[in-house]
Amino acid sequence: MHDISAHAVEHHAPPTSFIRKHVFSLDHKVIGKQYYALALVAALSGMLLSWFMRIHLGWTNAAIPGLQLLSKTGAPGGVITPEFYLQLMTMHGTIMVFFVLTTAPFAAFGNFFLPIQVGAEDMPFPRFNMMSFWVTFVAFLVLMSSFILGDGPTLGGWTQYAPLNSVGSVAGPGQGLGVVLWMVSIALFCVGQLLGALNFITTTLDLRVKGMSMMRLPLTAWAWFITSCMGLTAFAVLMPACILVILDHVAGTSFFVPSYSVINDQLQPHSGGSTLLWQHLFWFFGHPEVYIAIVPGIGIVSHVLITNMRKPMLSQRVLIYCMGALAVLSYMVYGHHMFVSGMNPISALAFSFPTLVITIPATIVVLIWTFSLYGSKLRINAASLFALGFISMFVSGGVSGFFLAQPSIDIMLHATYFVVGHFHMVMGVAAMFGIFSATYFWFPKMTGRMMNESLGRVHFWLSFAGAYCIFMPFHYLGMAGNIRRYSSFPDDFLQPLLPVHKWITVAALVTGAAQLIFVYNLIHSRFWGRPAPDNPWEATSLEWSTATPPPFDNFGGKHPVVYHDPYQYGVQSSVGDYVMQTSPEQVKTEHDEK
């Protein structure tokens, strides 16, 4: 490593007080860990809620001990009412989409590793970065407070469709204060993410170290950069939408409630609002949000696989272009969520076409992964297994997207368990596997200790098999006409499907319990794990060229110079079959020799 250009970088002393060091820290690494901890708590909360829902779906009258403590009216005697089921479902979706799938792969790992991967000592605006986390944390508290305030959380689902999101308590428990808290929480979340995006974009564009051209950025850095651009556009639109709903509630405006709306036999005082307006504003955010959750995973999986394959992908450039294409197209496809909402049929066609087109870059990404893996001597470990699992889930969940992209088929499958299975696999489980892969891969650098590899593999196989056991049957249920959001299936054609639901419930409980292995591994390894060397995976990017864990200023007062592309594997160098980005060593590849 060369000590260069230090004159150009502002040095600031590391904090000494506990509060500045661990609570209101300006250090991007601490903020990254805080985001990770928040995502972990949120994921466990969301999983617990899904357990309650699954138990109710399998055994409608089952009493869940202690559940009445969460809601006396919603779960009298521990038995879930239909309204409380919907409240659980809404909170599960909101927590998972916003506070886990957006927070962990993007904000947590991005905060920790983006500055290091570009060679900077911190983000350019550390105070905004700190605010970003704490605003997100407050947003989470506001959301969770709806369990104890008023008549519980909103029951409108994570999409919060109008007009029921704007008419107040008449629409059911939680539709008054619960909706306002939801909107305030999400508006705050948007502020947090916008502040984060500001830092990510400027870090990538302005703080790259000498020699680090854009094309020399690792794929993870590219993924976070593209994701932050998406977030900047999407969250800036969701926030005004939330503000308008809050005004409909507290100021009596009529943005989203149509004239003569009669809800629960009561004529609503609003007039003239547009229900489709909410859907347009929401899905303009909502569909890119899918890619905000998954693009960091694409970067992580590529990064992890390359390191373990010991060779670069077939084309790093094409992978970057594909991630960019996914980002751009994600704004042109959102209308496919509204095929049955009463849109002009021509609009449906207009949205259907890009929806099919967006499968092209996604397919190219998968093909690059597959053909790069072909013939490689992949090092099998928990990180690479979860990366493979990501690809499997991405493909399995993505294939059902072809069907849903076509309006004529979507009319049949809309609002059924087919859709639930589709997005859980392609967005939920795939992104979670990306988070797991990143955790097993980067944990040594983040904490200075190795995770238990055996437990990691057990965790993978149980999660992989479990996820398929849960979510593949969802597709069958959907094709059989099982509507989503029903809390029970007491009669007619849905009754024969009950055994499938029971099977899914058992699988969900077992798979959920398997996640406790991960939590145990995480906590145990954090304190008692084997000390990690600086570069345990023999990787090439900048985060592995510094100490483990990285010092306060990331590179110990020095600034690296970058001489190589990010993934120089399969070469002959003095250290082995790889050469680090910071190494001035001139090496020959096998290709050169030929």
Partner 1 sequence: MATTVHEPPKIDPRRLPDQGHSGNGGWRNLVPADGDLRGTQEYSPPPSSTAIWVVVFAVTMMFAAFSSALIVRKGSSLDWRSFPLPSVLYFNTLLLLASSITLEVSRRRVATFMGGLKSQVKSPARWLYITLFLGLLFVAGQYVAWSQLRAEGLYLATNPSSSFFYVLTATHALHVLGGLGGLIYVIRKLSKSALRRSQLVATTRYWHFMGILWLYLLLLLWMKL
Q: Judged by CB, which is closer to partner 1: 108, or 561? A: 561
- The C-alpha atoms of residue 428 and residue 436 are separated, in whole angstroms, by 12
Q: Judged by CB, which is closer to partner 1: 13, or 19? A: 13
Cβ at position 131, least distance to partner 1 in Å? 14
Q: Judged by CB, which is closer to partner 1: 67, or 579? A: 579
Cβ at position 227, least distance to partner 1 in Å? 14
Q: Are 184 and 269 in contact (CB under 8 A)?
A: no
Q: Which residues contact 520 (CB under 8 A, 6 or more apart)?
A: 455
Cβ at position 214, least distance to partner 1 in Å? 7
Cβ at position 421, least distance to partner 1 in Å? 31
65, two tokens: 């001990």
Burial-class residue 565 by CB neighbours within 10 Å (0-12, 13-18, 19+).
middle
Q: Are 355 and 336 in contact (CB under 8 A)?
A: yes
- The C-alpha atoms of residue 581 and residue 594 are separated, in whole angstroms, by 23
Q: Judged by CB, which is closer to partner 1: 9, or 44? A: 9
256, two tokens: 């989203």
Q: Judged by CB, which is closer to partner 1: 184, or 239? A: 239
Cβ at position 347, least distance to partner 1 in Å? 13
Whole-number Cα distances in Å, 37 to 31, 32, 103, 143, 352: 10, 9, 10, 17, 39
Q: Are 208 and 118 in contact (CB under 8 A)?
A: yes
Q: Judged by CB, which is closer to partner 1: 145, or 315? A: 315
Cβ at position 318, least distance to partner 1 in Å? 13
Cβ at position 159, least distance to partner 1 in Å? 17
Return the number of other C-beta atoms located less than 10 Å from residue 72's C-beta. Answer: 10
Q: Judged by CB, which is closer to partner 1: 574, or 586? A: 586
Cβ at position 571, least distance to partner 1 in Å? 7
Identify which of 513, 514, 490 has the alpha carbon closest to the alpha carbon of residue 501.
490
Cβ at position 169, least distance to partner 1 in Å? 18
Q: Are 407 and 273 in contact (CB under 8 A)?
A: no
Among all chains, which residue has been given the structure tokens 């008054």? Answer: 176
DSSP SS3 for 569: strand
Q: Judged by CB, which is closer to partner 1: 162, or 419? A: 162
Helix axes 498-528, 453-479, angle to 10 degrees: 160
Among all chains, which residue has been given the structure tokens 């590899």? Answer: 453
Q: Considering only CA atoms, give the Rg of the chain.
A: 24
- The C-alpha atoms of residue 248 and residue 250 are separated, in whole angstroms, by 6
127, two tokens: 């105070």
Cβ at position 99, least distance to partner 1 in Å? 21
Q: Judged by CB, which is closer to partner 1: 121, or 151? A: 121
Q: Judged by CB, which is closer to partner 1: 101, or 118? A: 118
Q: Judged by CB, which is closer to partner 1: 177, or 209? A: 209
- As a dihedral over the C-alpha atoms of residue 282, residue 286, residue 287, residue 288, rounded to 10 degrees, the angle is 110
Q: Judged by CB, which is closer to partner 1: 249, or 501? A: 249
Cβ at position 245, least distance to partner 1 in Å? 11
DSSP conformation letters of 260-310: T-EETTEE-S--S--HHHHHHHHHHHHHHHHHHHHHHHHHHHHHHHHHHHT
Q: Judged by CB, which is closer to partner 1: 97, or 212? A: 212
- The C-alpha atoms of residue 289 and residue 296 are separated, in whole angstroms, by 12
Q: Are 462 and 510 in contact (CB under 8 A)?
A: yes
Q: Are 31 and 134 in contact (CB under 8 A)?
A: no
Cβ at position 280, least distance to partner 1 in Å? 7
- The C-alpha atoms of residue 445 and residue 533 are separated, in whole angstroms, by 9
DSSP SS3 for 2: coil
Cβ at position 538, least distance to partner 1 in Å? 17
Cβ at position 107, least distance to partner 1 in Å? 16
Q: Judged by CB, which is closer to partner 1: 313, or 446? A: 313
Q: Which residues contact 246 (CB under 8 A, 6 or more apart)?
A: 180, 183, 184, 187
